[in-house]
Structure 1
Amino acid sequence: MESVDARRLTGPNVLMDPPGSIIDISCSKQESDAILPCWTAAVRRMLGDLGWTTSSLCYRPLNGGLSLAFSAPIDVLYAATAVNEWAFDVCLAELAGAPLPDYEQTLADIRSAADEESNAALLALQAAATQRGVTLLWDDDRVSLGMGGTSRTFEARELPAPESLDLGVFTDVPVAFVTGTNGKTTTARLARHIAMAAGHTPGLSSTDWIAVGDEIIDRGDWSGPGGARAVLRHNKVDIAILETARGGLLRRGLGVDHADVAVITNIAEDHLGDFGSRNLDELLDIKWVVSRAVRTSGTLVLNADDKLLVEKAQQYDGRITWFSLDEKNETVEKHTAAGGIAFVAQGHDLARIEHRAKQSICRDDEIPITLGGAARHNVGNALAAAALCDALGLSLDCIATGLRGVSQDANPGRCNVYTLPHCRVLVDFAHNPHALQALFDVAEALPAKRRILAFGQAGDRTDEQIRELAASAWAIGLDHVIVSELEKYARGREPGEVYRLIKESLLHEGAQPGQIEHYMLETESLDAALARATDDDLVIMLALAEADAIRKTLAAQSVANR
């Protein structure tokens, strides 16, 4: 039994809506049953003596552990985390029959820390904003009111008195969350382009960058609450599209507590084994947080081809728009028959259906990133983006224009095809079983004389998962496989261990030893694949550790740039 992590929760999260503190405990079910009442009693005692009388307590049983949390004022969350850590120490001592920590000294220390951390001006501004229905965003350094053009940001320790402000001038912009295991980045990028086609200046926070309109203003992983705040505070933004990843949801929660639309693209195996997301049900609970932020007048957009989402949606009372690659999907048919809205693929047509009345949007082969319709997962992402933008009130004409205008250059690392003088290269960031299978389906659909795969796998996959991925790859009809070591993603594996598992699986599936190569770097694997490729071959390149270098190399050799 041990503490995995204790931290602040700054927004709606998997356990509760208000900010607070959480501690993750790795323990058995028996230990969990003993910890919970002990922790509850300790926390209630300390909160009472600190005067935090409005705090609520909650917990989340997990596979292999327990998460314990309580709400707290936003200006004392570091002190709240100290309370959580102390309460767990009390549990350890009580269960072991050891001396308890000195309560009076601990209380004095935490009270002193809370006094130093406290910010009465922040609480006053928060109360006034809540009363007037004004959005307040805060972090350690800055506090802002409103969104987009009306947003105004202050230093956290130099806040104005509420009565000195005209709170009526602060308004919101439409907000959309996009989450899911795969497709969320592409869906968010598509929605951004649709919004621009409609004449808006969208703000996008994502795993790759923050963009405002057609300008990228910062690069890096901004799929957490920090990226959301940066977008919502930008004065040029009039629509916010916020990619929302698992890590940010687990560690901090949402960056803003309300949205007009939330999209969940799918729930599939990724990061399983990490504390708090060790199975698909736990992962679903994390992603489902965005549904709680949707306004009563808003829309939740869900994938009708995902059985977990279809089942979970039965618990949701708000408005849902479904999307599906199957026009005969049972969930879609029932939903539209009852007057609901769905976005579906009908042959090569993307269509909006309401009350069973169909409106065509465009053909899938008019959308560049679908590769003529071969990339079915990107057809699904286009449907999700269309549903999102429809829920925001954008016209189908603008949706069609936006989808047609997204080239692979606007979606780097996601199903990109480079035509070289002697072969074509399909490049993707795919890194989990669901995404890899989608990529293999694309590779199988694209015409080619031979198919050469260059890829690697992270070490945190199980042996069986690694073997299954190799077998799935071989099944599409590969002629040669080049395995990259991915030292950066070894994650506890010995050098060559992942390669050995892949090679064993490939040999079992019928590959010959001469059809398998091994290199340390992805760039070396690419060079080897290109050297082996001849006219009309397709090279399938999975780019993780050296994605930027690979894209630059291929762009320089592409016939489109000659």
Structure 2
Amino acid sequence: MELSKLLDGYDHQVLQGDPGTQISGGMSFDAHRMAPGSLYLAVPGHREGGPEAIGRALERGAVAVLVEGGVPAGVTVPDDVCVVSVPDSRRASAVAASRYHGEPGREMDMVAITGTNGKTSVSYMIESVLRAATGARVGVIGTSGSRVGDEPIPMPRTVLTTPESPDLQYLLGYMRDRRTSSVVLEATSMALLTHRVDRAFIDIGVFTNLTQDHLDDHGTMESYKNAKLMLFQGLCRRAVVNADDPVVAQIQALMPDATTTYAVEAEADYRATDLVVDGAGSRFTLHHDGRKYPAAIPVPGRFSVSNALATLAACHLLGHDLAALVGALDRMPPIPGRFERFVTPLGTSVIVDYAHSPDSLEQVLSTVRGFAAARVITVFGCGGDRDATKRAAMGRIAGVLSDLCVLTSDNPRTEDPEQILDQIASGLSGTGTVFERIADRRQAIRFALAAAGPQDIILVAGKGSEPHQIVGEELIPFSDMDVVRDLART
């Protein structure tokens, strides 16, 4: 496709070269991923690229360059290479990438989920319910990678939870070409702030909740919230919003005629009552449009019911039969790393969960506490190079709701693991709960298994289904559930 057509109607200026240059090799922010005939998107500050990497991109086959402002001093671009200047390279990249792949989001039902907690769970639930109730071919893009049905889509390891716009549009085009009818994607706050989901043509935007997290990226809760709200400022046609969260009022103000609500406590368009939670799952009555539907999900917890309501509302708004959707809920397979359960040969129950914020840890532990017959043992840590203000709070929560805590490393990254444990312990020590400090995560899980009795429940929190641990700059293979299963056999 001609470069000029990729940016037609978008504010741009040709600095040199032929705007009719054919782009045939795709596009990327990453200078190392250029192919012959590609467009290099020189986005400032990108770790694997930026304007300073234009030379490397050209060496690898780029035939045109998109820059923000102009080419930096000292960077030489041959006269036959077309250079286009735009006021905002991320916004322009989303436009160009979408057009290059034929605006695939227009051809599928698109659901994007934002919020602090529940994004991955709701995406899995939507996929599962649509497949079971309608037989639909569903694409998923999120924390656990990208796939169409059961087919994973290989992508470079550097691709984010919500991919940069060139990768996202490539994935959407891939899914469209494989006759995918619906796509569900996780829209992180940073993805919204950096325009990764622009031009995805989202039909339903789902908001789950807002609690403390990612202050290392956003600085304040107000900035964090405002990033989430970007989904509801022209990026989606309809909103599905948790009415139990106070942010609902702001989304309703942004989309007054296109907001549907769900709730466990507040009045809402889709509401749950009569909750019954035990170790096997949750049962409730769904109220919608004057009708009642008995419902069940094989995941315990009020938060799981809230996620189920978001799922039902989004899928129903896409035009699917509500009774069939409700019937598909209790047939959901387990969600990897989200309240994922295992029983050891000795009878100890182990739950692996991604809970890594104060609110999510409190919700999971409160649920476990509600049906635990004996002790609750919690193994957890906090990520390094991330919001340190939540560490003491998580320590306090774990101490209040556990009988024994084992503090360990999460993804320490470049921080000293022991200093992270010091900060967690500062909140935990005041609760009076007994705790151990074992920085080696495998050994911490081993200790918890050895300390547990047959009726005890062990919660291993923080990493969920992540297949590795980040130590320094290195990715070390590590799966909490695989380690639990391995140690339980020894």
Determine if the TM-score, normalized by the shorter chain, exceeds 0.5. Answer: yes
DSSP 3-state at the match of 1:263? strand
Q: Structure 2 unaligned runs (5+)?
A: 1-5, 17-37, 53-69, 85-93, 276-283, 470-476
| 1:279 matched residue in structure 2 | 220
Which residue of structure 2 lines up, in the alignment, with residue 323 of structure 1? 262
Q: Report the alpha carbon displacement of residue 252 of structure 1 after superposing the two structures with TM.
A: 4.1
Q: What are the superposed Cα offsets for residues 432-470 of structure 1, whole Å, 9 maximum, x if unpaired?
A: 112111112122112231111111112446665322211
Partner of 1:251: 194
Give 3-state SS (helix, strand or coil) of 1:288's partner: helix
1:455, 1:531 → 2: CA distance? 16
Q: CA offsets, 1:193-226, max 9 Å, x none?
A: 1211212111111111212123333476442232
**TM-score normalised to the size of structure 2?**
0.73
Separation in structure 1 between the aligned mates of residue 425 and residue 143 of structure 2, nearest angstrom? 32
Aligned to 1:421: 345
Q: TM-score, normalised by structure 1?
A: 0.64
Identity of aligned pairs, percent? 22
Q: 1:405 aligns with which of 331, 341, 344?
A: 331
1:185 and 2:115 matched: no
Aligned to 2:42: 78
The Cα of 1:229 is off from its aligned counterpart by 3.6
Q: 1:215 aligns with which of 140, 151, 158?
A: 151
Question: What is the correspondence of 1:157-306 to structure 2 with a 5 Å cutoff?
Answer: 172-197=107-132, 198-218=134-154, 221-224=160-163, 225=165, 226-227=167-168, 229-234=170-175, 235=177, 236-254=179-197, 256-274=199-217, 277-294=218-235, 298-306=237-245
529, 541, 561: which one aligns with 2:448: 529
Deviation of the 1:48 alpha carbon: 8.2
Aligned residue number for residue 366 of structure 2? 441
Q: Which runs of 5+ in 1 are unaligned?
A: 1-10, 12-17, 21-46, 52-73, 87-104, 120-134, 149-170, 333-341
Aligned to 2:87: none
Asked if residue 471 in structure 1 is aligned to residue 404 in structure 2, the reply is no
2:461 is the counterpart of 1:539: no
> What does the per-residue CA deviation read over 1:145-201, in whole Å, with 9 as the maximum and x for residues that have no partner?
2538xxxxxxxxxxxxxxxxxxxxxx6121111111110111011111121121211
Query: Taking structure 1 as reference, are residues 323 and 76 closer, same or farther at Cα in structure 2, changes over 3 Å only?
Result: same
1:509 correspondence with 2:431: yes
Residue 398 to residue 231, structure 1, CA distance change in 2 (3 Å): farther
Write out aligned runs for 1:76-155 (5 A): 78=42, 116-118=81-83, 138=97, 143-145=100-102, 147=104
| Structure 2 counterpart SS, 1:439 | helix
**Gap change, CA 1:78 and 1:227, over 3 Å in 2:** closer
SS in 1 for 2:215: coil
| Partner deviation per Cα, 1:490-532 (whole Å, 9 max, x = no partner) | 554x341122233343332223xxx322222221111110011
Question: Relative to 1, partners in 2 of residues 1:400 and 1:117: Cα closer, same or farther, differing over 3 Å?
Answer: farther
Kindly provide the amino acid, as one letter, of the partner of residue 225 in structure 2. L
- How far does the alpha carbon of each residue in 1:73-112 deviate from its partner, in whole angstroms, 9 at most, with x for none? x978539999x999xxxxxxxxxxxxxxxxxx97998996
Contact 1:325–1:379, Cα closer than 8 Å, also in 2: yes
Q: How many residues align?
A: 405
Q: CA RMSD in A?
A: 3.7
* Residues 301, 322 of structure 1: 8 Å contact kept: yes
Give the structure with higher Rg (CA): 1
Aligned counterpart for 1:309 among listed residues 244, 248, 251: 248
Shift of 1:392: 0.5
SS of equivalent residue, structure 2 residue 288: strand
Contact map agreement 1:212 1:231 (CA 8 A) in 2: no
What is the CA distance between 1:389 and its match in structure 2? 0.3
Indicate if the aligned counterparts of 2:42 and 2:51 stay in contact, CA closer than 8 A: no
8 Å CA contact 2:15–2:82 kept in 1: the answer is no
Counterparts of 2:71 and 2:203, CA distance in 1: 44
Cα distance change on mapping 1:216 and 1:555 into 2, 3 Å: farther
Aligned 8 A contact 1:177 1:262 in 2: yes
Question: 1:469 and 1:350, CA in 2 relative to 1: closer, same or farther beyond 3 A?
Answer: same
Match of 1:550 among 462, 467, 480: 480
Amino acid at match of 1:345: A
Q: Return the structure number with greater helix share.
A: 1
Specify the alignment match of 2:474 in structure 1: none
